[in-house]
Amino acid sequence: MDAINKIRNDFPILSRKVKGKQLVYLDNGATTQKPQQVIDTIEKYYAYENSNIHRGVHTLSQEATTKYEEARETVKSFIGAGKNEEIIFTKGTTDSINLIASSFGKKLLKKGDEIIISAMEHHSNIVPWQMICEEKEAVLKVIPINKKGELIMEALEKLVSPKTKLIAVNHISNTLGTINPIKKIIEIAHKNNALVLIDAAQSIAHTPLNVVDLDVDFLVFSGHKMFAPTGVGILYGKEALLNDLPPYQGGGDMIKEVTFEKTTYNCLPHKFEAGTPNIAGGIGLASAIDYIKKIGFDTILKQEKALLAYGTQELLTIDGLRIIGSADNKTSVISFVIDGIHPFDIGTIIDQLGIAVRTGHHCTQPLMNFFEIPGTIRASFAFYNTKEEVDILVKGLKRAINMLL
């Protein structure tokens, strides 16, 4: 058995059948599957360790608190952050962006200030900024892209102004697979005294990240896209910046002292973690990080690069298939359209063959408008995918096209 097939054995779901056919799971951009190690961690937590954290003197509570705080430490090391205080547990990428947009917006955004996003953002990195800009009468500007699906960096240089307060862009586009030059973007922003938020939802499981090397101000991601459970995610922020921002939500754990006259707030990271958190999720996230480290980014990058190259080559053998997103620097996401066929019809037919891809606008409607298409079919690979699965996809697509045309 080769190394990848051995790895596949860690993921119980990969051996199941769908509609009587072996599952071919190519929707990792939406969510990744969970290895047994993560499932076991969560099961063990609920079976033997469950308790609320930061609240009890009893043993279970103290043990759960220790595990949760160890999980924070694991996340910190994984992204190269300096301090546990800089790691805020959230519900996911969307929650993390809303936290910053709301908190940063409230404190630092004034009428006429500018926020810059890009034309390839997920709705989660558009709408929260639109909402706060509307409230504060600030201006939302958009970095344009070219037809290959790459940011036009010269345009960014022109868009930035002394009024720019923050640039929020994704590291990797969920729809196009484009890897954006985030280091360069951060440099441009800082030269202009603007802050940067990087949406790492699609990169965190696919490429190593170091927040100190990047000098990024805020970095956000979701657990479920990195082999951890849903409902948990991370906001990384530089300590001084987070200290300066007001809390996002009020409630338990985020307070130091409450009276009816005045409340004082807890220190970082608890200031941004109101209410009982997703404790099992946080511990599960640390377990997923341990798993990623065990596999190693060398293996991950090698396999995903091979899948991107092979997948692109094989898909292009299909008549009438056009790939949307052909950036020079790209990850293992392939979006495509087929002449004369709606993506939903393809998705529905190949589901009958056990193949899971995502179809639609992928929560990037402005990007669909740019390419003048209703949606795409998207195959997004993880390291546990194989070339054989690419072959099954290509065969399935040909069969679907024959039925539909």
| Beta carbon of residue 17, minimum distance to ligand C6P (angstroms, whole number) | 23
For the chain, count helices (H), then strands (E). 14, 17
In whole angstroms, the minimum distance from the beta carbon of 69 to ligand C6P comes to 23
Catalytic residue from among 363, 365, 370, 387? 363
Rounded CA-CA distance 108/127 in Å is 18
Nearer to ligand C6P among residue 110 and residue 183 (C-beta): 183
- Environment class of residue 121 by beta-carbon count within 10 Å: exposed (0-12), middle (13-18) or buried (19+)? buried
End-to-end alpha carbon distance in the chain: 40
In terms of Cβ atoms closer than 10 Å to its own Cβ (0-12, 13-18, 19+), residue 13 is exposed
What distances in angstroms separate CA 215 from CA 33, 243, 281, one per listed residue? 31, 17, 28
In the bound complex, what is the minimum distance in angstroms from residue 402's beta carbon to ligand C6P?
28
Q: How far is CA 209 from the centre of its chain?
A: 13
Report the alpha-carbon distance of residue 86 to residue 333 in Å, rounded.
30
Which lies closer to ligand C6P via its Cβ, residue 126 or residue 341? 126
What amino acid occupies position 312? T
Binding site for ligand C6P (CB under 6 A): 29-30, 92-94, 122, 124-125, 170, 174, 199, 201-202, 222, 358, 362-363
Q: How far is the CB of 306 from ligand C6P (least distance, A)?
A: 22
Considering the complex, state which of residue 266 and residue 335 has its C-beta at the smaller distance from ligand C6P: 335
Structure tokens belonging to residue 68: 């949760």
Least gap, CB of 383 to ligand C6P (angstroms): 18
Q: Return the number of the residue (124 or 303) whose C-beta is nearest ligand C6P.
A: 124
Beta carbon of residue 92, minimum distance to ligand C6P (angstroms, whole number): 4
Collect all residues with Cβ–Cβ distance below 8 Å to 390 and sequence separation of at least 6.
307, 310, 311, 314, 379
Angle of CA points 95, 226, 367, to nearest 5°? 60
CB nearer to ligand C6P: give 270 or 362: 362
Residue 226 C-beta: closest distance to ligand C6P, Å: 10
Q: Output the six-digit token pair for 337.
A: 């359209």
Residue 269's Cβ-side half-sphere holds a number of Cα atoms within 13 Å equal to: 21
Active site residue 133: no
DSSP string, 124-147: GGTHHHHHHHHHHT-EEEEE-B-T
Indicate the residue among 31 and 103 with the shorter CB distance to ligand C6P.
31
At 126, list the tokens.
């558009």
For ligand C6P, the closer of residues 92 and 347 by Cβ is 92
Please give the order of strands across the beta sheet that includes 333-338. 321-324, 333-338, 376-380, 358-360
CA 107/CA 130 separation, integer angstroms: 16
Give the residue at shortest CB distance from ligand C6P.
174
Residues with catalytic roles: 363
